[in-house]
Amino acid sequence: MDFTPIKLALTALRAQKTRSVLTILGMSIGIAVVITIMAAGKGLDHMVMGQLDAFSPNTVTVEVKIPSTKKTSSDNAMGMATGITITTLKEKDLDTLRKHPNIAAAYGFVTGQAIVKYQNEAKTSLLFGEGYNLQEVEKFEIASGRMFTKDEEESLAQVAVLGSKMYELLFGEENAVGKTVYIKGKPFRVIGVAKSRGAMMGMDMDKMVLLPAKTMQKRVLGIDYYQELIAKVKDRTIIKQTVADLETAVRENHDITDPNKDDFAVNTMEEAATMLSSIINGLTLLLVALVCVSLLVGGVGIMNIMYVSVTERTFEIGLRKALGAKSRDILKQFLAEAIIITVAGGIFGIISGAAFALAIYFIAVSYGYDWAYAVPISSIILAISFSAAVGLIFGLYPAKKAAAFDPMVALRKE
């Protein structure tokens, strides 16, 4: 292989140090911006998606509500803050939900706090009484052991599934499955440990203890009502109708005629989810626009420098031709210059883009966001094809122009 064009290009680039450095800089900034933006987009996406899991758009909830107000249970910490407890949401309502043709699965939910003991360890824990079919409605994964069964819930079995942090607090490294913990003095057999779920709506889901809802009602709290019913719809498109149906049915169950006196509220995550996803779409659009603008600015800058360089270097090109360079030699030299600039800009751009993305990751994590560090392959491919295209288009055009110079005309031009 003949390295002469590369050597010539290097010599020429060195002779125009400032211009070369600026071009490489322009190129790498363009590429770095693309990579940074796309990586940040991925990180943001990861964070928002994590939140969105909590906003399952297929979920319908029936919450207790103080009549004639807008306060639902989740607005006032399950009704406890006001001192008023609504006790009307019962098994019958859950059955009503389950019978609705658009409901895939539903379960009842109660919550409370209690001290959980294992041998010498005692921890105050959030207790979640949930249905055996929790996993049919939402994402809930077991790390070891198993979830409780329908029979266990119906028979008020004293079994518990521990949140991952609660397990660590009580058992450390020890295996928990099969062991007995005491809740309010009553023995509960640990049958499973949940996978980490992180925080959801401000609550650390890993520090809770999960009990069968009915066991919790009867054996722990001594009540017969639920605080919330949670259901999953089959067809999201008719969710509005489903909500209306459920409102009518539950109202009937509760002997209410005036909707203003409702002691419950049927809600969907639809609105929140719609809002979140429109924010995500907006953000994605913004990122795409930013990427386009930075590509455009970078590209125009590089084209400008390359183009000016040919005009400025008329004399050099004329001289080289006068000294025996063929058009092909000039073409090769200018292409080699474009390639060197492109490759150098590409390498610097990718490295600094990845570094910026990492910096953003650390900043986001230090603020406690559930960020992800990912430099998407697509961003590197985009950056590489961008720089290759810029190098080719903005390199080839001036190179062709340069190669076509008549040596005499070029030399005479002062």
Stretch of 23-31, 177-185, 254-262, 321-329 lying at the interface with other proteins (CB under 8 A): 321-329
Stretch of 35-43, 107-115, 228-236, 316-324 lying at the interface with other proteins (CB under 8 A): 316-324
Instruction: Tell me how far apart the alpha carbons of residues 13 and 61 are, in angstroms, rounded to a whole number.
Output: 68
> Phi, psi at residue 83, to the nearest 5°?
85, -15
Stretch of 155-163, 325-333, 357-365, 391-399 lying at the interface with other proteins (CB under 8 A): 325-333
Stretch of 26-34, 64-72, 239-247, 327-335 lying at the interface with other proteins (CB under 8 A): 327-335
- Burial degree of 365 (CB within 10 A; 0-12, 13-18, 19+): middle
Cβ distance to other proteins smaller for residue 286 or 408: 408
Cβ distance to other proteins smaller for residue 145 or 407: 407
How far apart are CB 303 and other proteins at their closest, in Å?
Answer: 23
Residue 323, C-beta contacts closer than 8 angstroms, at least 6 positions apart? none
Q: Which residue among 150, 328, 359, 381 contacts other proteins (CB under 8 A)?
A: 328
Q: Which residue among 9, 208, 325, 357 contacts other proteins (CB under 8 A)?
A: 325
Which residue, 205, 268, 200, is CA-closest to 51? Answer: 200
Stretch of 31-39, 172-180, 318-326, 389-397 lying at the interface with other proteins (CB under 8 A): 318-326
Q: Are 84 and 66 in contact (CB under 8 A)?
A: yes
323 makes contact with other proteins (CB under 8 A): yes
Site residues (CB under 8 A) for other proteins, limited to 3-22: 3-4, 7-8, 11, 15-16
Instruction: Tell me how far apart the alpha carbons of residues 11 and 25 are, in angstroms, rounded to a whole number.
Output: 19
Cβ distance to other proteins smaller for residue 16 or 51: 16
Cβ distance to other proteins smaller for residue 75 or 329: 329
Q: Which residue among 173, 324, 367, 377 contacts other proteins (CB under 8 A)?
A: 324
Cβ distance to other proteins smaller for residue 64 or 403: 403
* Residue 91 CA, distance from chain mean position: 37
C-alpha dist (Å) from residue 352 to 34, 345, 357: 11, 10, 8
Cβ distance to other proteins smaller for residue 139 or 326: 326
Query: Which one-letter DSSP state was computed for residue 406?
Result: -
Q: Dig out the tokens for 307 from the structure.
A: 């183009």
Beta strands in 294-335 (DSSP E): none
Cβ distance to other proteins smaller for residue 226 or 405: 405
Q: Which residue among 92, 195, 240, 326 contacts other proteins (CB under 8 A)?
A: 326
Q: Dig out the tokens for 402 from the structure.
A: 């340069």
Query: Which one-letter DSSP state was computed for residue 65?
Result: B
Residue 67, C-beta contacts closer than 8 angstroms, at least 6 positions apart? 260, 261, 262, 263
Q: Are 153 and 131 in contact (CB under 8 A)?
A: yes
Cβ distance to other proteins smaller for residue 18 or 237: 18
Q: Which residue among 63, 206, 320, 405 contacts other proteins (CB under 8 A)?
A: 320
Q: Which residue among 292, 322, 359, 381 contacts other proteins (CB under 8 A)?
A: 322
**Number of residues located near other proteins, criterion CB under 8 A:** 23
Q: Are 300 and 28 in contact (CB under 8 A)?
A: no
Beta strands in 131-274 (DSSP E): 142-145, 159-162, 180-183, 186-194, 199-200, 203-204, 208-212, 228-233, 264-268
**HEC string of 207-236?**
HEEEEEHHHHHHHHHCCCCCCEEEEEECCH
Cβ distance to other proteins smaller for residue 323 or 377: 323
* Residue 73 CA, distance from chain mean position: 28
Give me the residue label for tokens 């992180």: 198
How far apart are CB 337 and other proteins at their closest, in Å?
Answer: 14
How far apart are CB 308 and other proteins at their closest, in Å?
Answer: 16
How far apart are CB 319 and other proteins at their closest, in Å?
Answer: 6
Site residues (CB under 8 A) for other proteins, limited to 369-408: 407-408
HSE on the CB side for 161, CA within 13 Å?
A: 29
Binding site for other proteins (CB under 8 A): 3-4, 7-8, 11, 15-16, 315-316, 319-329, 407-408, 411
